[in-house]
């Protein structure tokens, strides 16, 4: 009698469950559904391509063993990946990939997590001699955890950073992807992790490098014809920190080489830490295979610090500089500079400087003048609410209509225009724009931006809308 797909899969599951950690089982196996069985091939449905990659990367061996127990040595596994709904007919689209289709050779070597070896013992590719060359870590000791103050805005990123520093390469936060707007502490946190690791594990090779410098080095290596040395060098590193990876966008050659370095490090249990001004999902002109790897570990956002955190950061800075300042003034500065820690620090530094150069008391009056300069100099960003208001007014509808689910053409167009301008004029992510303009997802926003681009180059009337709105919004 033939076994049903479900029965086979359930048997596999109970075998797998006995052999891996409970948390891993819950995360990676419970969401899987058995679909069908044809000959010796079992199809299982996984929630995303990320899942599929993860299973192939980490659980291939155990999947194989369990399947062979059930179906014999010709057993095959096919992943059915849900790709969401198609726009035109609302049917669920799926993609089917046989197990290890893309990586038939490497699949033999994949480890089962329970037997995970000590990452230190794992790298057999040390080039004799080179290990002794000391690699300068390029870390800034002034950026450490002690002076990276904790608040709601950074708690997740900060704690994950600490966990990584305790066990580099040994947590599931690999890679660790930190993102957030300028001046919110990405570079500081990235250094802090490196500094802490160096303190705990002086023998580990840590390297901090900006993506711009990495690109430069790579370009030089191509010019000098020593691309392989470049790659080898990076493969020696235990903890690689690359700051501002958004600069890799559009740089296909560097992305390719980074992809190989990343895979090498990751497979050998080395830690990779990346920062960016955007979430992986919002990054443009970055290869898909690289983006999907960015999402393997943990992405954590640094948000704008709340008032208490801003006050704490200021006090800490003043304390370290040995300067005393009236509470009232600290609070005034913290209240008025909200979006950028660098500016917050800048304002307090100017305040100290002004006061000491001119031998003036630091007064509230002086603080007002200085803060005003800082606030004025930072270009005002229009808000998404404001954009929706302006677009609705322009088309003589109210904001609720603009956000409604209707498919009426003129309303859809107004909504798409609002999304387009939100993308153009704010730093908000596609996902956040979508959620603010009628709870749509990031794909809808992306589609809207493309539609507006297309229409404004083909439709004269539409182009006029775009120009009018542009004027109203940026005046
Ligand atoms: P980013 O790389 O995100 O643009 P930085 O890491 O350069 O930002 O941070 C800007 C400034 O703000 C630095 O001087 C940094 O020390 C300071 N800073 C940011 N976040 C914090 C924090 N949580 N506690 C203390 N200082 C911070
Ligand atoms: Mg930075």
* pLDDT reported for residue 376: 65
* pLDDT reported for residue 112: 27
* pLDDT reported for residue 475: 65
Nearest Cα neighbor of 334 from 322, 321, 316, 320 is 316
Atom in ligand 1 nearest the alpha carbon of residue 190:
6
Note the pLDDT tens digit of each residue in 352-378: 887 777 767 788 888 888 888 877 655
Helices and strands (H, E) in the chain, number of each type: 20, 9
Over residues 333-348, the mean pLDDT reads: 91
* pLDDT reported for residue 100: 63
Are 185 and 309 within 8 A, CB to CB? Answer: no
pLDDT cut 90: percent of the chain above it: 59
CATH of 384-474, one of 3.60.10.10, 2.102.10.10, 1.10.1750.10, 1.10.510.10: 1.10.1750.10
Return d(Cα 210, Cα 243) in angstroms, integer: 4
Ligand that comes closest to the CA of residue 157: 1
Residues 145-302, CATH architecture: 3-Layer(aba) Sandwich (3.40)
Q: Is the overall model pTM greater than 0.75, yes or no?
A: no
List the alpha helices (DSSP H) in 282-326. Answer: 288-294, 307-320
Of 250-264, 359-373, 428-442, the one with minimum mean pLDDT is 359-373
Ligand that comes closest to the CA of residue 244: 2
Note the pLDDT tens digit of each residue in 198-227: 999 999 999 999 999 999 999 999 999 989
35-58 core/surface letters (b: 16 or more CB in 10 A; e: else): bebeeebbbbbbeebebbbbbbbb
* Phi, psi (deg, nearest 5) at residue 234: -70, -25
* pLDDT reported for residue 82: 67
Q: 6-11 long-range CB contacts below 8 Å, 24 or more apart? A: 6/34, 8/34, 8/37, 8/42, 8/67, 8/70, 8/71, 9/34, 9/42, 9/44, 10/34, 11/66, 11/69, 11/70
* pLDDT reported for residue 27: 76
CATH of 307-376, one of 1.10.8.60, 1.10.10.10, 3.60.15.10, 1.10.3720.10: 1.10.8.60
Q: Is the CB of 422 under 6 A from ligand 1?
A: no
Return d(Cα 185, Cα 179) in angstroms, integer: 9
* pLDDT reported for residue 110: 28
- Give the start-to-end residue ranges of the domains of the chain: 5-95, 145-302, 307-376, 384-474
Q: Compute CA 385 distance to the chain's CA centroid, rounded to the nearest angstrom.
A: 25
Residue nearest to atom 18 of ligand 1 (CA): 185
Return d(Cα 243, Cα 273) in angstroms, integer: 8
Residue nearest to atom 20 of ligand 1 (CA): 185
Over residues 168-172, the mean pLDDT reads: 93
Over residues 5-12, the mean pLDDT reads: 94
Return d(Cα 231, Cα 147) in angstroms, integer: 34
Q: Over 60: is that where the pLDDT of 26 sits?
A: yes
Nearest Cα neighbor of 290 from 257, 255, 264, 261 is 255
Q: Over 60: is that where the pLDDT of 129 sits?
A: no
Note the pLDDT tens digit of each residue in 266-275: 999 999 999 9
What fold does the segment set 5-95 form as a domain? GMP Synthetase; Chain A, domain 3 (3.30.300)
Ligand that comes closest to the CA of residue 188: 1
Atom in ligand 1 nearest the alpha carbon of residue 309:
23
* pLDDT reported for residue 126: 38
Are 434 and 423 within 8 A, CB to CB? Answer: no
* pLDDT reported for residue 344: 93
Q: Mutate which of 150, 177, 188 to test ligand 1's pocket (most atoms within 8 Å of Cβ)?
A: 188
């Amino acid at each position: 009698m033939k076994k049903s797909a479900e029965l086979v899969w359930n048997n596999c599951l109970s075998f797998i469950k006995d052999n891996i950690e409970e948390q891993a089982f819950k995360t990676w196996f419970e969401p899987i559904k058995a679909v069908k069985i044809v000959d010796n091939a079992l199809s299982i449905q996984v929630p995303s391509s990320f899942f599929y990659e993860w299973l192939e990367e980490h659980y291939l061996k155990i999947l194989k063993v369990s399947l062979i127990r059930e179906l014999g040595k010709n057993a095959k596994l096919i992943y059915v990946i849900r790709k969401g709904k198609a726009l035109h007919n609302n049917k669920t689209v799926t993609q089917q990939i046989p197990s290890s289709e893309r990586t038939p050779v490497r699949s033999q070597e994949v480890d089962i997590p329970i037997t995970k070896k000590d990452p230190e013992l794992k790298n057999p590719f040390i080039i004799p001699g080179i290990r002794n060359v000391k690699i300068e870590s390029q870390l800034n000791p002034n950026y450490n955890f002690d002076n990276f103050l904790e608040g709601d805005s950074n708690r997740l990123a900060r704690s994950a950073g600490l966990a990584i520093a305790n066990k580099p390469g040994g947590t599931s936060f690999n890679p660790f992807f930190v993102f957030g707007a300028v001046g919110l502490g990405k570079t500081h946190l990235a250094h802090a992790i490196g500094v802490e690791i160096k303190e705990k594990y002086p023998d580990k090779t840590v390297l901090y490098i900006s993506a711009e410098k990495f690109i430069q080095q790579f370009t030089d290596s191509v010019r000098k014809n020593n691309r392989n040395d470049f790659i080898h060098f990076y493969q020696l590193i235990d903890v690689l920190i690359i700051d501002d990876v958004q600069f890799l966008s559009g740089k296909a050659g560097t992305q390719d080489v980074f992809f190989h370095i990343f895979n090498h490090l990751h497979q050998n249990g080395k830690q990779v830490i990346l920062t960016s001004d955007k979430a992986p999902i919002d990054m443009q002109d970055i290869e898909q295979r690289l983006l999907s790897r960015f999402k393997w570990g943990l992405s954590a956002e640094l948000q704008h610090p709340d008032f208490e955190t801003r006050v704490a950061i200021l006090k800490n800075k003043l304390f370290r500089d040995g300067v005393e300042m009236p509470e009232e003034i600290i609070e005034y500065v913290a209240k008025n500079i909200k979006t950028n820690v660098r500016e917050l620090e800048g304002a307090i530094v100017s305040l100290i400087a002004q006061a000491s150069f001119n031998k003036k008391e630091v007064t509230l009056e002086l603080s007002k003048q200085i803060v005003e300069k800082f606030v004025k100099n930072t270009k005002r960003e229009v808000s998404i609410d404001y954009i929706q208001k302006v677009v609705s007014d322009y088309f003589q509808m109210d904001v609720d209509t603009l956000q409604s689910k209707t498919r009426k053409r003129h309303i859809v167009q107004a909504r798409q225009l609002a999304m387009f301008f939100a993308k153009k004029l704010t730093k908000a992510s596609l996902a956040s724009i979508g959620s603010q303009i009628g709870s749509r997802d990031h794909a809808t926003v992306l589609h809207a931006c493309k539609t507006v681009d297309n229409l404004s180059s083909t439709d004269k009337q539409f182009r006029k809308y775009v120009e009018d709105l542009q004027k109203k919004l940026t005046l």
